[in-house]
Amino acid sequence: MTETKPTLPARPFFSSGPCAKPPVWSPEKLDIAVLGRSHRSKLGKARLQYCIDLMRELLELPDTHRIGIVPGSDTGAFEMAMWTMLGSRPVTTLAWESFGEGWVTDAVKQLKLDPTVLMADYGQIPDLDAVDWSNDVLFTWNGTTSGARVPNADWIADDREGLAFADATSAVFAQKIDWTKIDVATFSWQKVMGGEGAHGVLILGPRAVERLETYTPAWPLPKVFRLVSKGKLAEGVFKGETINTPSMLAVEDAILALEWGRDIGGAAAMRARADANAAALNAIVEARDWLGHLVTYPAIRSNTSVCLTVQGADADFIKKFAKLLEDEDAAYDIASYRDAPAGLRIWCGSTVDTADIEALGPWLDWAWARLSA
């Protein structure tokens, strides 16, 4: 007798990076006129500036903040900020998942800054009230590998002496960010935009620019990190004059995603889609006693990289579970991050359709039934 299987999601792309392309995406929609041209040509510069302008519009970024395209994905952007601005005052680093822990490692072992380190286990965040804002403060807005996020920006002091550095790569376009509280922010296109990798985005507020122009770090800086020339900010970086050669194909892909976001209603619509997807996944979790949230406190639970616990599961079980679904083309790349507790991680950002999240539920049941029997 032939087994009756659930209906497949139309787009089973639930990876937390690179993430699902926008629903309207196809290669034929990319404007390829710039390919084969110099990024320094009039056309190349115009397309890079247009990409920056679209990001500013969708991020609702004030004119006080500069935005630039830099090498090395979110990691490159955040390390560029650390290497160029830290060292003039004490540093506090917050970490509750693997990428935040990476910034701790950089501060301690590479830059040797002897920072104050506030840690929390996966599924939790540190005590935000314990942060000393006379320090420069580094944190991930949304912990991609743990699914825990800061609830808002209220904990960031208006009268802070230090700079607020936010790794916001899985938060922008999905969570409301108060830009008056952020001095440095970074992200990459391959997360919530569903773009291509290798490029990072660096956002600088006026206090960060002041730091760059008044402080010179004690350590040498490689060319790809240099944001200052003759004591002044290299303004060209924030007008599409990239430090190194960008992929114009990746830029066109980013433009397509940004235009889609603009056309569906901008940042508010993108946030609403992520919220609807997270709510649909939460309904699936609440209906099953063998599923749970790694982040038990809803106020700090991500609406993008949602991390789930599976009753009695170890890493081997999760590997088999994810493979069953991938082999059926029901869900791709949903195993938890390698350093995180064994479980599932389902991307719920705006480029995912809610109907596909809803279709995933019966497939989770299908895999559970086969492996737990």
Q: How far apart are CA 249 and CA 239, in angstroms?
A: 18
Q: How far apart are CA 106 and CA 85, in angstroms?
A: 13
What's the pTM? 0.96
Q: What is the second-level CATH architecture of the domain 27-262?
A: 3-Layer(aba) Sandwich (3.40)
Give the model confidence (pLDDT) of 135-153 as tens digits. Answer: 999 999 999 999 999 999 9
Say whether pLDDT at 133 is over 60.
Answer: yes
In eight-state DSSP terms, residue 108 is I
Q: How far apart are CA 340 and CA 354, in angstroms?
A: 26
Q: With bands split at pLDDT 50, 70 and 90, how would you rate the model's confidence at 4?
A: confident
3-state DSSP call for residue 299?
Answer: helix
Say whether pLDDT at 373 is over 80.
Answer: no
Per domain, the residue ranges of the chain are 27-262, 266-372
Say whether pLDDT at 1 is over 90.
Answer: no
What is the average pLDDT across 95-109?
A: 93
Q: DSSP characters for 123-163? A: T----GGG--TTSEEEEESB-TTT-BB-S-STTS-TT-SS-
Please say whether the dihedral angle defined by the alpha carbons of residues 19, 25, 30 and 36, taken in this order, is positive or negative.
Answer: positive
Q: With bands split at pLDDT 50, 70 and 90, how would you rate the model's confidence at 293?
A: very high
What is the average pLDDT across 120-145?
A: 97
Give the model confidence (pLDDT) of 63-84 as tens digits. Answer: 999 999 999 999 999 999 999 9
Q: What CATH number belongs to 266-372?
A: 3.90.1150.10
What is the average pLDDT across 295-319?
A: 98
Give pLDDT, residue 3.
77
